[in-house]
Structure 1
Amino acid sequence: MKIEVIHTHDNETWELRHLSMGSHTGTHVDAFSHMHEGAENLDEIPLENFCGEAQLVSINQMWPQKIGLFFMEEVGVEEVNRIVASNPKFIGGNITEELERALLGKKIITYTGLVNLESLPKESNFMFYGFPLKIQSGDGSPVRAIAIVED
């Protein structure tokens, strides 16, 4: 990522920066078109698909159904059938490229580059929000990923 200062308070009385980055920079979400030609782009996926209940899980446990799943340990393509069977709203965390490709092909949104997963409660639901930038025909987008955890 490159950040260039364009205007400053001293010279123009206001600040402006020019940002230059890829669509898969840092914490980001992947559209189905990222790895599958002709599949839906970000602007074709309903906004409500980028948020919802989620849980931090491990490979060795039973997974909840129909919510987002996040993994701290690496998860590979050998888990694709089990993941698809849990019908997750989205997946995130330490997933391999092969698993990401398989999930996107099954219309499961993937988040990568997530940080601070260790701060989330294990096996307890929380609300997750990871909205993409409004990029026309976007294959992916940086996100500000937020988890709302109840005490």
Structure 2
Amino acid sequence: MRYVKWIFVVLLISSLTSFVEKDKPTGGLNVGDIAPDFEIQTMSAKQSFKADLSELKGKYVLLSFWASYDAQSRMQNASLSNALRSTSRSNVEMVSVSFDEYQSIFEETIRKDQIVTPTCFVETKGESSGLFKKYRLGRGFTNYLLDDNGVIIAKNISAAELSAYLN
């Protein structure tokens, strides 16, 4: 009788886990999708910056979504920014978007990480912003490499992988 109880428990657990889709992507958009257009404007104490994704058609675009409180996305953003600065390719534009809710934290983070400010923006509405929802970032921050037509050709790439794509 004791073995029957254990067999029942194992069957119950295995039947519950069979409903989980194992091949489903973790979140966000996927390779082959067209990146949704967006416009973002950041006002800092020094000047105003504006990025419109549709204006970057014809260039490769690296979109990096991150936040200062997410260590992994922050490190990835800094390493990608450094990799692009060290390359001689001029047809690649990086658009870095932070979802920090405070402008001061964002500015201190980009200063410490030495990110080039004309390509770095902050969405102070954080995770409740339309951009966060449009790119379906609910399961974590990510980055996307877009071709010159705005099609995602790579997702979650490292600085080394970016260098391989560009060469």
TM-score (norm 1): 0.35
Please tell me whether Structure 1 or Structure 2 has the larger radius of gyration of its CA atoms: 2
Q: TM-score, normalised by structure 2?
A: 0.32
Q: Which has the higher helix share?
A: 2
